[in-house]
Chain A
């Protein structure tokens, strides 16, 4: 298992290896980051605000004199955790609906697909802004809003895959054999679309990281005292004029995470190339 994973990682082009390294790095930070933090998250530890890099504070201090590195390590957990959970929810919901449409016949497929087409024609940022205005932005709601916003995109891709697979001979054989719809969807169709779905999951994850940190940046996402990477950029925006590290560090952190995932997906065999 581990050996074959290593073999695959070695077969990736350089950009893919860089992407993989970045993804693993951020997953580790999300898991153990808060334990590595040199200072408590909310503590005022520096004498100066917007300090530059120093031996005591590797990434300087923020607008209240707190340690940026410590806050970044804990913010990464919110960003990665929320986005991963939301992407998982969006992908599983979208795929479940797509499978239902594929085995349910035109009666299920038609209305569901029309509805999804309609949702997809609302730009995602605009849609999530309306949802945030209507429901608010606690952590749980943010997760649901981000997931809901990206269900239609996943549905569209999963449905196209599932409808194609449903025409295959082996699925027809299973039907003739008398298998139920549930069995056909789960045991016959799903296993054969898992690879493109994984790539799509990665893309949803990137979109959701950007959406959530964008919302937090606008002050509409994760609310204080919690802070994800987008909130860190927002709260230090007054340091922009002095080019503070406190504002650059979290923004660069988000970029390395999303660029890493993108590079990895693009380098996967069967992906990229002309896309």
Chain B
């Protein structure tokens, strides 16, 4: 009996996850339409830009035909989207290389930076969040509240500037420019990316810790926690055994949300440290108005964001015992 009912609970959860997945795909499709439309609003087009001011109308028309720009917008959209999906988002205008090739040299760097940041930030944020929740209303909690509240509002470049001043100007421990190349060994690489990671961590940890604290405190007010406290369970045990299993979904949710903040923060941090990642590539694409490259970068960032949101929601579904054991 029990086996059968938990199985139907699993199917219910799977159906929910399937629906959530489908809606993410739909959102991604609409995002791609939006980005495509905005990129097309550009006055003058790629053919005009490539040939410059002195080109005759005939030359522009010929190149426009060659690039396929004279086709109606929806046809161009479909061919761009199918190209995107099959791994060929077009030709970068400035680098004169396939966009896929430009991105493939940068994407691993960005992923590595994000992974290392998450690796450092998550344990720190969890300890700060849970610690200040356990000390709720106390001095440590209030101090941490003010500290994280302030960190959330500090611009990334101030954190980066202060980090450079301390670690590379005064102490001379670390290089002020992040180098990353394939022939570096791990020690050199870590020294090179220490400051970008530190900067990103400061920003993300504050956000994450605040949300973790909120999630834990939300559980602390429930009757079952009061019951556990009243029967004399030690505070650490209350948090680990009673609160954590229930708070895990909102906490993972908070982690995913804060990590999505990394996407934006990386734009500034990669630029200030000259880190060869995807975000600094995107900034270059904006400066040089390289639309195919820009569209591809924007789509990668939006996809990453939607994946993080999906992870958050799926964890919430899986962690909900009412769904598992119906």
Contact = CB atoms under 8 A, between A and B. Distances in A.
A262 B153 contact: yes
B14 interface: no
Contact of B268 (A117, A135, A214): A214
Contacts of A222: none
B286 A220 contact: yes
Interface in A218-275: 218-220, 230, 233, 237, 240-243, 247-248, 251-252, 254-255, 258-259, 261-263, 266, 274-275
Interface string B252-271: 00000000100110011001
How many B residues touch the partner, as a band? Answer: 35 or more
A122 interface: yes
Contacts of A263: 146, 149-150
A274 B216 CA distance: 10
A123 interface: yes
B302 A126 contact: yes
Contact of A274 (B31, B150, B214, B285): B214
A243 to B, nearest CB: 5
B149 A266 contact: yes
Contacts of B42: 133-134
A240 B154 CA distance: 18
A243 B169 contact: yes
B264 A206 contact: no
Given A122-B34, A129-B282, A274-B218, A214 B157 contact: yes
A1 interface: no
A186 B268 CA distance: 41
B214 A275 contact: yes
A256 to B, nearest CB: 10
A26 to B, nearest CB: 13
B283 interface: yes
Interface in B128-167: 145-146, 149-150, 152-158, 161-162, 164-165
Given A251-B157, A255-B154, A134 B27 contact: no
Contacts of A243: 165, 169-170
A121 B27 contact: yes
B155 A251 contact: yes
Interface stretch (B115-123, B287-295, B317-325): B287-295
Residue among B149, B157, B164 with max Cβ neighbours from chain A (10 Å) = B157
A213 interface: yes
A247 B150 CA distance: 20
Contacts of B154: 255, 258-259
Interface string B200-229: 000000000010001001100000000000
Contact of B302 (A122, A241, A274): A122
Chain A, interface size: which category? 35 or more
Contacts of A230: 155, 157
Contacts of A242: 169
A259 B153 contact: yes
Contacts of B285: 133
Contacts of B210: 275
Contact of A133 (B146, B165, B291): B291
B211 to A, nearest CB: 9
B169 A241 contact: yes
Given A121-B31, A126-B298, A129-B283, A254 B158 contact: yes
Nearest to B133: A274
B189 interface: no
B22 to A, nearest CB: 14
Contact of B153 (A130, A206, A240): A206
Contacts of A133: 39, 42, 285-286, 289, 291, 294
Contacts, number: 139
B290 to A, nearest CB: 9
Contact of B27 (A117, A130, A132, A218): A117
Given A125-B267, A130-B39, A247 B161 contact: yes
Contacts of A275: 210, 214
Nearest to B150: A259
B21 interface: no
Contact of B305 (A15, A121, A255, A262): A121
A123 B161 contact: no
Nearest to B283: A218
Contact of B31 (A122, A129, A233, A252): A122
B155 A254 contact: yes
Given A15-B146, A251-B161, A217 B27 contact: no
20 contacts: A121-B31, A121-B302, A122-B302, A123-B260, A124-B264, A126-B302, A130-B38, A132-B286, A134-B41, A206-B153, A213-B155, A217-B268, A230-B155, A230-B157, A240-B161, A241-B169, A259-B153, A262-B152, A266-B145, A275-B210
Interface of B: 27, 30-31, 34-35, 38-39, 41-42, 145-146, 149-150, 152-158, 161-162, 164-165, 169-170, 176, 210, 214, 217-218, 260, 263-264, 267-268, 271-272, 282-283, 285-287, 289, 291, 294-295, 298, 301-302, 305-306, 309
In the A-B complex, the 8 residue pairs with the smallest Cβ-Cβ separation, listed nearest first, are A125-B264, A258-B153, A251-B158, A133-B286, A262-B153, A118-B30, A259-B150, A126-B301
Given A126-B302, A252-B158, 20 more contacts: A121-B306, A122-B298, A123-B301, A126-B267, A126-B298, A129-B298, A130-B35, A130-B298, A133-B39, A133-B289, A210-B153, A217-B157, A218-B268, A218-B271, A220-B286, A240-B161, A247-B161, A248-B162, A255-B150, A266-B145
